[in-house]
């Protein structure tokens, strides 16, 4: 097995399913890809609408320190989450944003920038709550850290029984979404 290590931060509001997204990735990596994964979360007192983030550290060996200090991948579903985390993104890493909710404004260009209107897509599919799955689909198409198959299995075993088909659609929409952003060359 290749030596794998990767840190993912997913950030947004409470209610967007940020932690569930992190859980799916962690489960995919640790149970189905047979890696080690650690998911930590941080959230405020708000059930909905407060800042919320999930950190997933994935590694071929046991995860010691479970925090993503310099994420390889940052998925931002809110402006606040973006603002707080974008500077920590590892040079050469990947930034994925919901482009309706996040304005990408920083000077840095030393990472791959990807944008998807995930919430809009989910709304259009008729299930706004699944923007997280849309963006996970999109992430899956952009990163090799976790296998697609495992992520799909993790979704299947994580979402409420009756909703799997919808989630699958959301995942596929995200996976198939073609963004216009071109990988920016690593300059730094």
Partner 1 sequence: MSKSVLTGQHFVNGDVACAEGAIACGCRFFAGYPITPATEVAERMAERLPQVGGVYIQMEDELASMAAILGASWGGMKAMTSTSGPGFSLMMENIGLGIITETPCVVVNVQRAGPSTGLPTLCGQGDIMQARWGSHGHYEIIALSPGSPQEIFDITILAFNLSEKYRLPVIILTDEIVGHMSEKVVIPDEKEIEIVNRKTPEGSKENYMPYMTGDDLVAPMAKAGDGYRFHITGLTHDSRGYPVLTPEVQKEMVYKIVNKIRKNRKDIIYFEEIELEGADFAIITYGISVRVALKAVQMLKNDGIKCGILKLITIWPFAEEKIIEICERVKGILVVEINLGQIFLEVKRCVEGRVPVKFLGHAGGAVFKPVEIIRLIKELSEDGKN
Partner 2 sequence: MKYWRIPLDIEDRVKKRYRILIIEDRCKGCNFCIEYCPRNVLKTALYFNVKGYHPPVCEDHEMCMGCGFCQIICPEFCIIVEEEDGKD
Partner 3 sequence: MEKIEISPLGNLLREDRIPHIWCSGCGIGLAFSACLRAINGSSIEQDRFIIISGIGCSGRAAGYTYLDSFHTTHGRAIPFATGIKIARPSSKVIVFSGDGDLVAIGGNHLINAARRNIEMVVICINNFNYGMTGGQEGPSTPFKSRTTTTPYGNFESPFNIPYLVESAGAIYIARWTALHVRRLFKSILEAINKKGFSFIEVISACPTSFGRKNKLGNPLEMLKFFHKISVIQNNIHTRKAHLDLSNEIVVGKFVDIERPDFFEQYKEIFGSFPGEEVD
Q: Which stretches of the chain bind partner 2, using CB under 8 A?
A: 13, 16, 48-49, 77-79, 98, 100-101, 119
Distances (CA, A) of 1 to 28, 30, 34, 45, 152: 16, 14, 10, 41, 21
Which of 29, 12, 10, 31 is closest to 21 using CA atoms? 10
Question: Which residue, 119 or 152, is less far from partner 1 as judged by CB?
Answer: 152
Rule CB under 8 A: say whether 146 interacts with partner 1.
no
Residue with tokens 């909703």: 163
Chosen from ligand SF4, partner 1, partner 2, none, partner binding at 101 (C-beta under 5 to 8 Å by type)? partner 2
* 4-12, 61-69, 70-78, 115-123 -> range binding partner 1 (CB under 8 A): 61-69
Rule CB under 6 A: say whether 45 interacts with ligand SF4.
no
Rule CB under 8 A: say whether 81 interacts with partner 1.
no
Residue with tokens 């990735």: 25
According to DSSP H, which parts of the chain are helical?
18-27, 79-85, 118-125, 131-142, 148-158, 164-176
Residues 16 to 45: which contact partner 3 by CB under 8 A?
A: 44-45
Rule CB under 6 A: say whether 48 interacts with ligand SF4.
yes
**And the tokens for 159?**
């979402």
Residues that bind partner 3 (CB under 8 A): 15, 44-50
Which residues contact ligand SF4 by CB under 6 A?
47-48
């Amino acid at each position: 097995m290749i030596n794998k290590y990767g840190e993912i931060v997913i950030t947004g509001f409470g209610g967007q399913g940020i932690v569930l997204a992190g859980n799916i990735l962690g489960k995919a990596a640790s149970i189905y890809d047979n890696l080690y994964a650690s998911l930590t979360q941080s959230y405020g007192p708000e059930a909905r609408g407060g800042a919320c983030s999930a950190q997933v550290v994935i590694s071929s060996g046991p995860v010691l320190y479970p925090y993503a200090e310099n994420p390889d991948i940052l998925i931002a579903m809110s402006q606040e989450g973006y603002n707080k985390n974008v500077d920590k993104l590892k040079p050469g890493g990947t930034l994925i944003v919901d482009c309706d909710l996040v304005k990408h404004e920083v000077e840095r260009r030393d990472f791959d920038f990807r944008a998807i209107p995930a919430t809009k897509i989910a709304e259009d599919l008729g299930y706004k709550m699944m923007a997280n799955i849309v963006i996970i689909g999109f992430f899956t198409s952009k990163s090799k850290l976790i296998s697609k198959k495992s992520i799909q299995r993790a979704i299947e075993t994580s979402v409420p029984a009756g909703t799997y088909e919808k989630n699958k659609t959301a995942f596929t929409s995200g996976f198939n979404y073609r963004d216009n952003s071109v990988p920016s060359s690593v300059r730094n």
